[in-house]
Amino acid sequence: MLSGWLNWGLLADVTFVLACLAVAWYAKPTDLLTVSVCPPLAFFAACVGAELATSAGGTLAAEGTLVTLATSAPWLFLGTALTILVGLRRGLLDNIRALRQNLHGEPGGAPPEHVRKFPGDGSSGLASRRPGGAGPAWRR
């Protein structure tokens, strides 16, 4: 909004790139995947909010949002690319591997915490009491 009032669009663009770098640098390593996806979304939300707050009507706000996004596109790409580069340096590939393992259900991936343990799934002694050995019946 400040760059709109000052009629100096470069202020918002440079601030966006600096914020991308700061967030990627100071984020927890486990949050790097989320941080690398969010910059364009955050810029879009801020742009829509600023246009709605400063424009006279809905059509003008939509037009202003599109114009701002079009003129800021190189800065959006730069900020997103720098976020990904910093994230790669800090361990983003490990997050991608962990996500891939969890999505495929590979044994190396940690099970989600919200998964309930059922009797007979190997997490308790109930399976050993069943005739035929350990483990649930559907696995035999």
Model confidence pLDDT, tens digit, residues 16-41: 899 999 999 999 988 888 888 888 88
Structural domain range at position 15 = 2-103
Q: With respect to residue 116, please indicate whether it lies within any of the assigned structural domains.
A: no
Quote the number of domains for the chain: 1
Q: With respect to residue 9, please indicate whether it lies within any of the assigned structural domains.
A: yes
The mean pLDDT of 116-126, rounded to a whole number, is 51
Q: With respect to residue 70, please indicate whether it lies within any of the assigned structural domains.
A: yes
Q: With respect to residue 72, please indicate whether it lies within any of the assigned structural domains.
A: yes
Q: What pTM was estimated for this model as a whole?
A: 0.61
State CA 50 to chain mean position distance.
Answer: 23
Q: With respect to residue 67, please indicate whether it lies within any of the assigned structural domains.
A: yes
CA distance 140 to 136: 7
